[in-house]
Amino acid sequence: MIYFTADYFDGKTSRAYPVRVAFDGIALVISDNMQDNFYNAQYSSIEIDPALGRTKRSIRLPNGSLLQTNDLEAVNALETATGINRSWNWVHYLETRWRAVVVCMFLIVAALFGLIYYAIPYAANYAAQTIPLQVTSSASKQALRMFDQRFFRPSGLNAGRKQEITSLFGRTISRIDPAYVNNYTIVFRKGMSLGANAFALPSGIVVVTDELIALSDNDDELTAIFAHEINHVKRRHALRSILQSTGVFFLVTLLTGDVTSIANLASFLPALLIENGYSRDFERQADHEAGSLLIGLGKGTGPFQNILQKIDSSHPQTLKLGVFSTHPETVKRIEYLKKLDLASKKQDQSSHGRLPLKNDLCYNGWIPDPWIL
Amino acid sequence: MALVTDEISAAPKRYGIEFTASASEYFSIWIVNLFLTIITLGIYAAWAKVRTRRYIWANTSLAGHPFTFHGRPAAILKGNLIIAGMFLIYVATKKFEPVIAGALFVIFGFIFPFLVYKSLRFNAHNTSYRNIRFRFLGRLRESYETYLLFAGIIPCTLFVFFPAWQFYKKRFFFNNLAYGATQSSFSGRKGPFYRAYFFASITGIASFMFLSWAGSYWFHRLSMSWGATPGTFNLIYTFFFSSLLAAVILYTVQAVIYSITMNHCWSQTRFGNLQFRSTLTTRHLLFIRITNIAAIIFSLGLLVPWAKIRRLKYILENLSIVSTQDLSTFNGSPGSELSALGDAATDFIGIEIGL
């Protein structure tokens, strides 16, 4: 027998009746203070709200009435005896044990790392490969129009020079993405306030500024830039970046869904840091591929390092934002290219100088930074 | 009209709301909820929400008896899935097919009043006190007037209509509630809303001027002592300082508006012979908000549950009930089954209704 006292609410009025409840193994026998039994309920017809903290337990009876009691132990015993909520009490078990809570905290951190570093980039890459590039064409044209209105002036290059560069661009594509040569177009503009710059729009439009062409000393330097941008397109970095931001947004919503208003400020910053981290990964991947191409051509990464250095010094206001930046610092990019060179020399000369990429799931900001590539 | 009063219930009695949630208990519920939500990629969010809400209501008591939340996770899950689906389609089309995304946005604008209506019904119906359920009796038509028509004409009135719109939203809520068979009535006015927004703008402008002055002064001092370092430090400092400034001003403005309008709304709401008193002050709300944010940031989010409980405790314990009717004499009313669609929707978008 399990006995406890409770408040009985009949659901017809807001009156609380203090009652005594006894469970005899089959039914809840409810009696008032005068010991008069006024209601019995078979245990198979009752519902008990699962335990939650040290809050009062609620038992719903088949006639629409409700029992509420502070006698948590008696209700626990009732649940054990009847098997009610057996599939739910493990949540309460976790919640009431500090060790379990601490383990959950560590598992949350581990799960977040797993999602941010592996699951989201992997899923985004998979999805991006299945989406045809054509879906990005109208948005790319619109972005170019926006840049034309806000920053660019028409290019001042003569037709002959444009021809030369276009054919250099064509040769670079045929080395990187020979199956989709027709996807790519090169566009010349005067950079004005953007200075020496180049960027790729997701549909395959690569924009180069006159200033960048003037800055380059030879075709190899331009090849390096083109290879970097073409790889952004080939690897679907823009699409992946959008998909990954969506993933991050979803994750942040999951984490803060509990607190609607308080955490907005606090959740914005981590999301920004994660997304910029993805962007730097994509830049590194494009650098890696461009560097490997130059090594494969027997030029080494020297031309790429030179042009990066020149672009960097042509933008004197460039800020070292570290984790807030969408691109790795130029010094680090050059350092990486040097390492690439060294590694290729150590390798057998007959190899192509193509190094296994540390993290092939790397990513990029599809509206490019006004500074550097 | 003859005044008929029951001798026994004639003397008004005051009941305070007691909020007994504990931050440490809620912390463990919150952690387990987060963990299960993440590993189930959001599916568990519906169960998490039910547990959270049950915990909050079960710890909110009036005259010794708690409120009870009855919402079913399966219903909330359905709503979550629909909202997540709509959101994903919107995101997927936004960058590449802005026309479709724009159309979706418009469609959503037309569905939104329906979701608000459903949400209010869901929340009210699934809340009970002493086994008597609340109900929301607002009409769908009024929801469309409030959330589509009135919201739509705000820009045409150069936002002069905005405080009135806030008033209509609150009236939609407070005027259409029922506790069992007892319906609410609301006698609020637009005046206090206009006053609240007027005070808020004055406070906002004043705090903007004061904080910018203080900020530039300290920035000057800092840059003098560190040697002038333009570049990174300058930019990051400016970024942080301006977001901090914006946040403090925003919180000040919100605290002013919240305290004035909520106090007014509660004081003008009655359920028969039962009335409310809300005694929130701007100063306390702002203090709690700012210290909460600071605590959350410095604890890397671990104090989120503590902050939430603290704010709720302040708001709820400043609400009291004055009634000439005995609290145990309210009658119930047969209710109807409802879907959770709206409930999830409003939570996802983050609009705040009611409390």
Instruction: Read off the tokens for A220.
Output: 């190899």
Q: Write phi, then psi, for A53 (nearest 5 degrees).
A: 55, -145
Name the minimum distance, in Å, from the CA of A205 to any CA of chain B. 15
HEC readout, A15-60: CCEEEEEEECCCEEEEECCCCCEEEEEEHHHCEECCCCCCCCEEEE
Query: Is residue A55 within 8 Å of residue B66, measured between CB atoms?
Result: yes
> Per-residue pLDDT for B320 more than 50?
yes
SS3 A156: coil
Q: Would the CB atoms of A321 and B232 count as touching at under 8 Å?
A: yes
Per DSSP, the residues of A55-99 read: PPEEEE-TTS-EEEES-HHHHHHHHHHH-TTTTTHHHHHHHT-HH
In B44-149, which residue ranges form alpha helices assigned H by DSSP?
Answer: 45-58, 73-94, 98-125, 140-144
B344 pLDDT above the threshold of 80: no
Tell which phi-psi region holds residue B41, choosing left (phi > 0), alpha (psi between -120 and 50) or beta.
left
Instruction: Specify the pLDDT at position B115.
Output: 81
What is the pLDDT tens value at each position of chain A, 373 positions in all? 899 999 999 989 999 999 999 998 899 999 987 878 888 999 999 999 999 999 999 999 998 899 999 999 999 999 999 999 888 788 999 999 999 999 999 999 999 999 998 999 999 999 888 888 887 888 888 888 988 998 899 999 999 999 999 999 999 999 998 988 888 999 999 988 888 889 898 889 999 999 999 999 999 999 999 999 999 999 999 888 888 888 888 888 787 764 333 345 556 777 778 888 888 889 999 999 999 999 988 888 999 999 999 888 887 665 556 666 778 888 889 999 999 888 887 765 544 444 444 333 333 333 333 333 3
Which residues on neighbouring strands pair with residue B16, listed in sequence order? B320
DSSP string computed for A336-360: HHHHHHHHHHHS-TTS---PPPS-T
Residue B240, token pair as written in the block: 């942080």
From B38's Cα to the closest Cα of chain A, the distance in A is 7
**B-interface mutation test, from A85, A118, A258, A323, most B Cβ less than 10 A away:** A258
CB-based contact B45 A107, cutoff 8 Å: no
Q: What is the pLDDT of residues B182-230, one digit of tens each?
A: 999 999 999 999 999 999 999 889 888 887 787 777 766 665 555 445 5
pLDDT band for B234, please (50, 70, 90 cuts). Answer: low
CA distance linking residue B207 with residue A28, whole number of Å: 62
The percentage of chain B sitting over the pLDDT mark of 70, rounded to a whole number, equals 84
Q: What is the residue whose two structure tokens read 């993405």?
A: A177
Report the mean per-residue pLDDT for chain B: 83
Neighbouring CB atoms inside 10 A of B298's CB total 10
Q: How far is B66 from chain A (nearest CA, A)?
A: 8
**What whole-number distance in Å separates Cα of residue A72 and Cα of residue A46?**
17
Which band of pLDDT confidence, cut at 50, 70 and 90, is reported for residue B77?
confident
Q: Would you mind telling me the total number of residues written for chain B in this entry? A: 355
Out of B136-145, B249-258, B339-348, pick the least confident: B339-348
Are A111 and B327 in contact (CB < 8 Å)?
A: no
Residues 6 or more apart whose Cβ sits within 8 Å of residue A346 = none
Contact at 8 Å (CB) between B32 and A89? no
CA atoms within 13 A on the CB side of A161: 12
